[in-house]
């Protein structure tokens, strides 16, 4: 919800490049924007202290040297950046990147290359007992190759233990610096990985480009042992040629044979997120025994963006192959005609709008706001609907097109005690804004098919300074809650007095009995952080306020995600519950627009939210509304944003399906 009104204007200024389709993004779609551009490359994954850790390469801001980013995850899909490893030694003055890593006992050993030194780039080593703070080997650089076959350069380190010794795989170039190829060195089992222990194991390349798709480059080896053999996933061709991933096997770690003449993982088709390359692989075995292939990709081909993702693999017929997976962020949803409704059974209704943000807002070390461009922006602020019988798999109505040609953003759609559906929406202010301030839109419907715009609600019109000037700049994501005790409707929304709605934002409220007369606005929730997107749930006499913490930038780190606070009185005071993620949050970053429902399948709850920067929806399950775990097997309409879930009858669901059958005309994106 950042810069909502600015986004509305900007989004109309972006056009899709010729022939570029809306992207179907994978379940994992990670990047780092600290450089001012969305770039993360060269992933390496390890498990350490009950968490998954990812080390990756990122450029410095304003042309500064490359360095290594550090991120954590609980599920291998949703990643939170937790640190950086920067160049501090003289040999790293131009940068460091392309990390390899392994865990030995209680220590992470990181192997990385120096950057920007041409044929003098070499492999270095560092170690850490907490995953973030590293001690660098005093003998760095620890390895570079020798011989007439190589330029002396060593990059893209991969270290694995095999047959009682450590193998160091690296990429190097021929003496002319034209062809990239693989070499190998070894060290004894008890090594401290210092320079004196590494010995070149073969005086020549162990794998060089020979197939057409490999071009002039084989690099980025990632190796894993299976049934006594080593399997090497490698990148063929230089970046964006396109780079694609191959697979080879070895009985001794030195002599390698390709398993196929075709790429194991090719680049994507035109319009897909990895059209320009699927490169720099990392093979990883999770604690449950499942295999994942991590890799980098982009579809711009200009070096200005790279994203990281993964795909599950299976071991079958004595080799690796891609596994079938439903873990795509915008996988094709169920066809409306195949959606089955059982008479007398409840159906869940998701209302939402659709958007792909044009930019991602960041704050640099100096406090300046930076807008990082995102691909393929789109905005469709109109009512969309989807149905589900389990809360996890959703079928969009009208082929994921609007069901009503009316401005609606962040639609909060709930049935009141009188049976009337009442909808609140962000936006809707008109020519009186200078007199009454920002407004939200109020709409009603008797049946979710026939709608009526009741008008705009200038809820912050009485919030003024001593001179009588209006203070609020926005009313975002308004919702209403019916208090059975007082028989009043409580309207809740976020407002800020700053120049952007996400800055120093608080939750506000007012009350009404008839939707004609409203009490003056008051502060509802004011934690120590900026807050937006509040939604309220009552359960067994306790009130749960789910909301988005809206803090980010170099001072706080990335903290845009969902939190929960509780109270015994609907008006508070609310106590923030310290969740397990990112020092207090309950779902991964960057997420917003929470909505909570009882789990249709089992005892417990579902929390739905959207990953606003990666254009997908997510869900988490909890047995108690406080402890949440991300659900992996979910399917939501593409580009769905800020949803609200309601329960309807099977008859109502059938009526909606009849009224909003798939059409070929109307709005489409």
- pTM of the model as a whole: 0.75
Return the top range by mean pLDDT from 550-554, 593-597, 631-635.
593-597
Interval 455-484: pLDDT, tens = 999 999 999 999 999 999 999 999 999 999
What is the pLDDT averaged over residues 4-21? 33
Class of domain 347-659: mainly beta
CA distance 624 to 603: 9
- Closest-CA residue to 569 (of 644, 476, 490): 490
Q: Kindly tell me if the per-residue pLDDT of 158 is higher than 90.
A: yes
Percent of the chain at pLDDT exceeding 90: 80
Cβ–Cβ under 8 Å, residues 546 and 537: yes
* Integer Rg of the chain from CA: 27
Residue 402 has pLDDT above 50, yes or no: yes
Contact between residue 384 and residue 666 where contact means Cβ atoms under 8 Å apart: no
Q: Which two tokens stand for residue 7?
A: 């986004």
Phi, psi of 179 (to 5 degrees): -110, 125
Q: Which residue has the tokens 């990883």?
A: 284
The residues, any chain, with a CB within 8 Å of residue 217's CB and separated by 6 or more, are 179, 180, 209, 235, 236, 237, 238, 241, 243
Residue 19 has pLDDT above 60, yes or no: no
pLDDT recorded at residue 5:
34
Residue 525 · residue 534 · CB < 8 Å: yes
Shortest CA distance to 4 belongs to which of 260, 263, 355, 333? 355
Q: Mean pLDDT across the stretch 64-70?
A: 94
Residues forming CATH 2.115.10.20 domain(s) in the chain? 38-322, 347-659
What's the whole-number average pLDDT of the chain?
A: 91
- Give me the mean pLDDT over the 100-112 stretch: 97
Rounded to whole angstroms, the Cα distance separating 544 from 535 reads: 8
Q: Mean of the pLDDT values across residues 573-583?
A: 93
pLDDT band for position 161 (cuts 50, 70, 90)? very high
Q: Is the dihedral of CA 582, 588, 592, 598 positive or negative?
A: negative
Provide the 10 A C-beta neighbour count for residue 121.
27
Give the pLDDT score at 430. 67
The model's confidence at residue 26, banded by pLDDT at 50, 70 and 90, is: confident
Q: What is the pLDDT of residues 620-637, one digit of tens each?
A: 999 999 999 999 889 999
112-130 average pLDDT score:
97
Average pLDDT over residues 265-283: 92
- Which SS3 state, helix, strand or coil, does residue 109 take? strand
pLDDT above 90 (res 601) = yes
Query: Would you state the pLDDT for residue 334?
Result: 53
User: Are 520 and 510 in contact, with CB atoms under 8 Å apart?
Assistant: yes
Q: Which residue has the tokens 């061709």?
A: 237
485-537 tens-digit pLDDT: 999 999 999 999 999 999 999 999 999 999 999 999 999 999 999 999 999 99
The counts of H helices and E strands in the chain are 3, 42
Question: What is the pLDDT confidence band of residue 21, given thresholds at 50, 70 and 90?
Answer: very low
DSSP 8-state secondary structure symbol assigned to residue 20: P
Question: Tell me, what's the pLDDT at 667?
Answer: 42
Residue 572 region, left (φ>0) first, then alpha (ψ -120 to 50), else beta? left
pLDDT score recorded for residue 62: 74
Q: Is 41 helix (H, G, I), strand (E, B) or coil?
A: strand
In whole angstroms, how far apart are CA 572 and each of 399, 496, 545?
42, 20, 10
Q: For residue 614, give the nearest of 419, 416, 357, 264 by alpha carbon.
A: 357
Q: Is the pLDDT of residue 654 over 60?
A: yes
Q: Answer for the pair 650, 343: CB distance below 8 angstroms, yes or no.
A: yes
Q: What is the DSSP letter of 413?
A: E
Residue 615 has a pLDDT of 86
| Contact (CB, 8 A) for 537 and 552 | no
pLDDT attached to residue 93: 94
Task: Tell me what pLDDT residue 432 has.
Answer: 78
The stretch 161-184 carries a mean pLDDT of: 97
Beta bridge partners of 314: 321
| 38-322: CATH superfamily | Glycosyl hydrolase domain; family 43 (2.115.10.20)
Identify the band that residue 331 occupies on the pLDDT scale cut at 50, 70 and 90: very low
102 beta partners: 109
Q: Span 381-393, mean pLDDT?
A: 96
pLDDT grade for 24, boundaries at 50, 70 and 90: low
DSSP label of 343: T
pLDDT in tens, 425-436: 999 776 778 888
pLDDT score recorded for residue 329: 41
User: What pLDDT shows up at residue 324?
Assistant: 61
Q: Which of 41, 70, 358, 463 is nearest to 220 (CA)?
A: 41
Which residues, including other chains, have CB under 8 Å from residue 583's CB and lie 6 or more apart?
none
User: 326 pLDDT exceeds 80?
Assistant: no
pLDDT digits (tens, 9 = 90+) for 210-243: 999 999 999 999 999 999 999 999 999 999 999 9
Question: Residue 161 in contact with residue 138, Cβ under 8 Å?
Answer: no
């Amino acid at each position: 919800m950042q810069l909502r009104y600015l986004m509305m204007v900007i989004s109309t200024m972006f056009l899709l490049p010729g022939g570029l389709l809306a992207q179907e993004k994978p379940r994992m779609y990670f990047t780092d924007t600290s450089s001012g551009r969305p770039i993360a490359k060269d992933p390496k994954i390890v498990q350490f202290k009950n968490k998954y850790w990812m080390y990756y390469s990122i450029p410095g801001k304003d042309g500064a040297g490359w360095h290594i980013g550090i991120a954590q995850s609980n599920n291998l899909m949703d990643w939170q950046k937790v640190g950086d490893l920067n160049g501090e030694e003289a040999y790293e003055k131009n940068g460091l990147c392309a990390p390899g890593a392994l865990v030995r006992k209680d220590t992470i050993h990181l192997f990385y290359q120096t950057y920007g030194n041409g044929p003098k780039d070499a492999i270095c080593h560092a170690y850490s007992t907490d995953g973030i703070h590293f001690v660098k080997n005093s003998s760095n650089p620890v390895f570079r190759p020798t011989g007439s076959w190589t330029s002396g350069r060593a990059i893209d380190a991969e270290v694995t233990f095999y047959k009682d010794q450590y193998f160091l795989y690296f990429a190097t170039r021929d003496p002319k610096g034209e062809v990239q190829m693989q070499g190998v060195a070894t060290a004894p089992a008890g090594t401290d990985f210092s320079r004196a222990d590494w010995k070149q194991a073969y005086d020549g390349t162990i794998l060089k480009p020979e197939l057409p798709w490999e071009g002039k480059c084989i690099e980025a080896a990632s190796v894993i042992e299976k049934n006594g053999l080593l399997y090497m996933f490698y990148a063929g061709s230089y970046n964006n040629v396109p780079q694609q991933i191959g697979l080879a096997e070895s009985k001794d770690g030195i002599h390698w044979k390709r398993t196929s003449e075709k790429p194991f993982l090719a680049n994507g088709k035109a319009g897909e997120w990895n059209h320009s390359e699927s490169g720099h692989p990392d093979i990883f075995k999770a604690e449950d025994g499942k295999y994942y292939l991590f890799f980098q990709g982009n579809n711009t081909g200009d070096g200005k963006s790279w994203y990281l993702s993964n795909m599950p693999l299976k071991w079958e017929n004595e080799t690796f192959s891609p596994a079938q997976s439903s873990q795509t962020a915008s996988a094709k949803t169920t066809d409306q005609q195949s959606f089955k409704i059982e008479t007398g059974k409840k159906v869940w209704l998701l209302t939402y709008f659709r958007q792909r943000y044009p930019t991602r807002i960041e704050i640099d070390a100096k406090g300046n706001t930076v807008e990082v461009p995102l691909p393929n922006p789109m905005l469709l602020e109109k009512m969309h609907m989807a149905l589900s019988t389990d809360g996890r798999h959703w079928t969009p109505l009208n082929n994921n097109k609007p069901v009503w040609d009316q401005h609606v953003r962040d639609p909060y759609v709930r049935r009141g005690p009188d049976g009337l559906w009442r909808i609140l929406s962000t936006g809707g202010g008109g020519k009186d804004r200078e007199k009454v301030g920002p407004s939200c839109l109020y709409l009603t419907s008797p049946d979710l098919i026939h709608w009526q715009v009741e008008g705009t609600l200038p809820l912050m019109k009485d919030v003024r300074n001593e001179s009588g000037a209006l203070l609020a700049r926005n009313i975002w994501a308004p919702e209403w809650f019916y208090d059975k005790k007082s028989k009043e409707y409580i309207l809740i929304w976020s407002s800020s007095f700053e120049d952007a709605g996400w800055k120093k934002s608080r939750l506000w409220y007012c009350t009404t009995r008839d939707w004609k007369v409203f009490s003056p606005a008051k502060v509802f929730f004011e934690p120590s952080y900026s807050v937006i997107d509040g939604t309220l749930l009552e359960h067994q006499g306790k009130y749960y306020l789910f909301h988005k913490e809206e803090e980010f930038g170099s001072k706080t780190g990335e903290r845009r995600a969902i939190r929960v606070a509780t109270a015994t009185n609907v008006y508070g005071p609310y106590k923030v519950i310290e969740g397990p993620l990112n020092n207090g949050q309950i779902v991964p970053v960057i997420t917003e627009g929470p909505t909570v429902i009882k789990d249709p399948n089992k005892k417990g709850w579902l929390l739905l939210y959207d990953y606003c920067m990666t254009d997908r929806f997510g869900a988490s399950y909890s047995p108690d509304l406080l402890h949440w775990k991300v659900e992996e097997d979910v399917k939501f309409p593409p580009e769905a944003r800020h949803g609200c879930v309601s329960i309807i009858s099977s008859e109502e669901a059938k009526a909606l399906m009849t009224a909003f059958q798939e059409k070929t005309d109307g709005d489409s994106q």
